[in-house]
Structure 1
Amino acid sequence: MPRIAGQIDETKTEAILEAAMALFAEKGVSTSMDAIARKAGVSRQTLYNRFPSKVEIGRALAERRSDAISAPLRSGGDPQAVLTAMASSLLQKICGDDGRTSMRGVALMSPTAPDLARAVYDAGPAQGLRRLTDWLAEQNRLGTLSVPEPALAAEMFVGMTLGHGHLRSVLGVPHPAFDPEARAAETARRFIRAFQP
C-alpha cells in the first residue's frame, strides 16, 4: 500500500541523492542502483519507490541545484541585488568543489547515457534559464529593465557570470583565484547597465 506524503522519511531521500551525487562523480553512468542504495543506507525497495531509475535521480539532483541557483529570482527586490545574488549562487554551485565534481560526472555520463544527460540538462540548466528568462521578461514588462529578447539575455547573463568556469569544471582544470562576490556584483552591474530602460 502506498504511503501518504507525511509518512515519507525525507532524510532517506536526501541520503539517496547525496550518495548518487558522490557515486556519479566517481564512477559515472556505471554506478548501479544497488551501489546507490548501499551507500545511502537504504533498501533497494526504498530507492526504487522514490526513484525508479538513474534518470529520475539525475533529474532530482539537477532540479535541486537549479532551485538553489534560481532562488534569488523568487525573492523580489531590486534587479541589481537579485542578479548579484543569482550570479553569486551560480559561481558557488558551478565553480565550487561540488559543482566541479557534478559537472565532470555529467560529462562522463553523457556519451553512454544521453537520456540521463538530457534529463539533467532539462531539469537543471535549461530550467534555470527558463526561470531567468521569465524574470527578465517580467522586468521588461515592469519597465525596470529593457530586455526585448529575454531568452538571449538570460544566456548572456549566465555566460558573463561563469566565463570559462563551467568548462574548467568539466575538464577538472583549477580555477584561477578570484573573488566570487566581487565578480557577481560586477557582472550584475554591467548587465544592468546594458539593459537599462
Structure 2
Amino acid sequence: MASGARGKGRPRLIEAAEIDRAIRDAALQLLLEQGEATTMHAVALAAGISRKSLYARYPNKTQLALAVIGELLQGAGALEYDRSGDAEDRLRHYIEAGLEAIAKPQSKALQRLLTLDPDYIAALRSDMLDATRRIFFEPLRMLLSDAQAGGELAIEEVDATARVIIRLIFATSFTDEHDGKSWMTSPEPENYAGFLARLVARGLLAR
C-alpha cells in the first residue's frame, strides 16, 4: 500500500509543477504585455486553469508578480559580448551589448512594471541588485581587470570604474518626464558606445 500511495502521489507532484509553470509563463507574458492592467482572470485563462486553482497558489496579483519577476531576475545570466580586439574594442563591444540588453522590449516592460508599484522594488531589491551584479558588473570587472593585468589600461579602482560605466549605460534608459524621449542626443547606440569606450579607454591608457 505504501508503494501504491507513492505511485499515485508522483503524478500529482508532476502535475502541480506543470500547472505552476503554466501560471508563471502566462503571468510573465501578460505582465510584460499589459503591465498593471493584467488581471488574475486573464492569467487563469492564459494558463488554462480555473481562477480557484490560481488563487489557491497565489492569493493576489502582487504575490504572483513578485514570484514571476523574482524568478526572471534570478535566472538571468551574465552579459555576452564580443571579446575580440584591444581594450577599447572590448569595452565598446561590452557597452553595445549592454545598451542592446536594456533596450529590449522585455527589459523596458520590466522597468515600467517595477516603477509602477514601489512595493515591487522594495520586495525585489535584493534580487535586482544580485541580477545587476551578475549580468553587468561581473563581466565588466573581469574585462577591466584583464586589461589592467595586461598593461593595456591603468586603473586605480576597477570596481569603482566599472560602476561608473554601468551607470552611464543605464542612464540611456532615462526619459524626459514631459515628452517621454531619451535624454540622449544621438539615437544610435553604437555612436554612444564608441564615444563612451574612447572616453574611458583613452583616459585610462597605461602610461
Normalising by structure 2, we get a TM-score of: 0.63
Say which SS state the counterpart of residue 193 (structure 2) adopts.
helix
Q: 2:131: which partner in 1? A: 124
1:148 corresponds to 2:159 = no
Q: 2:180: which partner in 1? A: 173
Q: 2:203: which partner in 1? A: 194
1:159 corresponds to 2:167 = yes
Q: Distance in 2 between matches of 1:64 and 1:132?
A: 19
Indicate the larger mover: 79-88 or 21-30.
21-30
Return the offset for 1:154.
0.9
Q: 1:104: which partner in 2? A: 112
Higher relative contact order (CA 8 A, sep 6+): 1
Q: Distance in 2 between matches of 1:19 and 1:169?
A: 30
Say which SS state the counterpart of residue 140 (structure 1) adopts.
helix
Say which SS state the counterpart of residue 106 (structure 1) adopts.
helix
Q: Is the 8 A contact 2:153 2:201 kept in 1?
A: yes
Gapped regions of structure 2 (runs ≥ 5):
1-9, 58-62
Q: Is the 8 A contact 1:95 1:166 kept in 2?
A: yes
Q: Distance in 1 between matches of 2:130 and 2:176?
A: 19
Return the offset for 1:76.
3.2
Q: Is the 8 A contact 2:30 2:38 kept in 1?
A: no
Q: Distance in 1 between matches of 2:77 and 2:179?
A: 21
Q: Is the 8 A contact 1:16 1:37 kept in 2?
A: no
What CA deviation, in whole Å up to 9, does each residue of 1:79-105 have, x standing for no partner?
222222221122223245433322111
Q: Distance in 2 between matches of 1:144 and 1:57?
A: 42
Say which SS state the counterpart of residue 147 (structure 1) adopts.
coil
Return the offset for 1:153.
0.6
1:57 corresponds to 2:68 = yes
Q: Distance in 2 between matches of 1:122 and 1:101?
A: 18
Q: Distance in 2 between matches of 1:171 and 1:26?
A: 22
Q: Distance in 2 between matches of 1:66 and 1:56?
A: 18
Sort the Cα spacing of 1:193 and 1:53 in 2 relative to 1 into closer, same or farther, 3 A.
same
Indicate the larger mover: 127-136 or 14-23.
14-23
Sort the Cα spacing of 1:121 and 1:186 in 2 relative to 1 into closer, same or farther, 3 A.
same
Normalising by structure 1, we get a TM-score of: 0.66
Indicate the larger mover: 84-93 or 20-29.
20-29
Q: Is the 8 A contact 1:55 1:119 kept in 2?
A: no
* AA at the equivalent of 1:182: N
Return the offset for 1:149.
0.8
Q: Is the 8 A contact 2:23 2:44 kept in 1?
A: no
Instruction: Using the aligned pairs only, state the percent identity.
Output: 16
Q: Is the 8 A contact 2:27 2:43 kept in 1?
A: yes
Return the offset for 1:122.
2.2
* AA at the equivalent of 1:121: M
Return the offset for 1:77.
2.6
* AA at the equivalent of 2:73: A
Q: Is the 8 A contact 1:104 1:171 kept in 2?
A: no
What CA deviation, in whole Å up to 9, does each residue of 1:116-173 have, x standing for no partner?
431441243232223322332232223222222111111221233343x232299982
Sort the Cα spacing of 1:55 and 1:186 in 2 relative to 1 into closer, same or farther, 3 A.
same
Q: 2:193: which partner in 1? A: 184
Larger radius of gyration: 2
Q: 2:98: which partner in 1? A: 90
Return the offset for 1:42.
8.0
